[in-house]
Amino acid sequence: MQPVHLWGPYGEYTWMPLADITPEVASWADHGAVRMDEGPWQPLGRAPLDRRGFTYSFLLGAGQVPVLRADPKAGFLGRFQLGFFPVHEFGIQADIAYAWTQDDQGADIFDGRYSLELDALPLSAGPFSAGAYGQIGLGSLSDDGVSFSETDTILGGGALFQIGLTTRLALTLRAGLVSVHDETLTELTGGVSIY
C-alpha cells in the first residue's frame, strides 16, 4: 500500500497505492516518485558480512624477530593471506608473512613465515566478530650480519577480531604467538580482508 506519486505526459498529477498500478497506468505515467515519510516504507540497510567463498587479506603490524645470541627484537611484520571459507564461521588460508628488524650492530635480520592457517570466528554481535586461529608451517631466518640462515617449523595461534564494513569487506586485527627458531614470539597485525 506504499503511495506512489505519478505525473502524466502533460503534467497531470495523481497518486495511488503501488498495488493498484496497472500496466496501463505505468505506460501513461511520464515519471513517478515515492517518499520516505509516507506509507509502510522500511529501509533494509546493507546485508551483513558474508565470508563464504574465496578470500584474501593484507595486514601490516609488528612482531618479534629472533636475533642470534640475543633476545628477540621487535620489528616490522607484513602478511598476505589467500584462502577459502566453506561456511561463514570457518576458513582455511595460506599465510605468507615477512618480519624484519636490525640487531645491535645494525645488521638486517629477515624472518619469512609460510604456513597453513585455520580460522574460526564463531562470535558475532552486529558488525563485530571474534574468534581464533591456528597455524603450522615453515620459517626461514636470515641474519646478514653473520651470514646465517636457518629453516624451522612454525606453530602459532592467537585471537582474531573483525569489523564488517560491507557484505564483502572487513577490517581484521590479529594478535598471537609464534613458536619458531627456538623462540616464542609475539605479533600484532591489522588490515583489510576481502571475501
Residue 182: phi, psi to the nearest 5?
Answer: 60, 25
The 10s digit of each residue's pLDDT in 124-152 is 999 999 999 999 999 999 988 777 788 99
Q: Calculate mean pLDDT across residues 164-182.
A: 96
Q: What's the pLDDT band for 45 if we cut at 50, 70, 90?
A: confident
Residue 174 reports pLDDT greater than 90? yes
Q: Rounded distance, CA 3 to CA 19, Å?
A: 9
C-alpha triplet 61, 66, 71: angle, nearest 5°: 105
Q: What's the pLDDT band for 7 if we cut at 50, 70, 90?
A: very high
DSSP class of residue 45?
A: -
Q: Rounded distance, CA 61 to CA 76, Å?
A: 6
Q: Rounded distance, CA 11 to CA 29, Å?
A: 10
Question: Which residue's entry shows cell 495511488?
Answer: 16
pLDDT of residue 146: 72
pLDDT of residue 37: 82
Contact status, residue 156 vs residue 142, Cβ threshold 8 Å? no
Please, what is the average pLDDT of the chain? 93
Q: Rounded distance, CA 79 to CA 103, Å?
A: 22
Residue 40 reports pLDDT greater than 90? no
Phi/psi zone of residue 3: left (φ > 0), alpha (ψ -120 to 50 degrees), beta? beta
Torsion sign over Cα 62, 173, 118, 97: negative
Residue 43 reports pLDDT greater than 80? no
Question: CATH: 2.60.120.380, 3.40.50.300, 2.40.160.20, 1.10.1040.50. Which one for 53-194?
Answer: 2.40.160.20
C-alpha triplet 180, 181, 184: angle, nearest 5°: 50
Q: Calculate mean pLDDT across residues 79-108.
A: 96
pLDDT of residue 177: 98
Residue 105 reports pLDDT greater than 90? no
pLDDT of residue 96: 98
Question: Where do the domains of the chain lie?
Answer: 3-33, 53-194
pLDDT of residue 132: 98
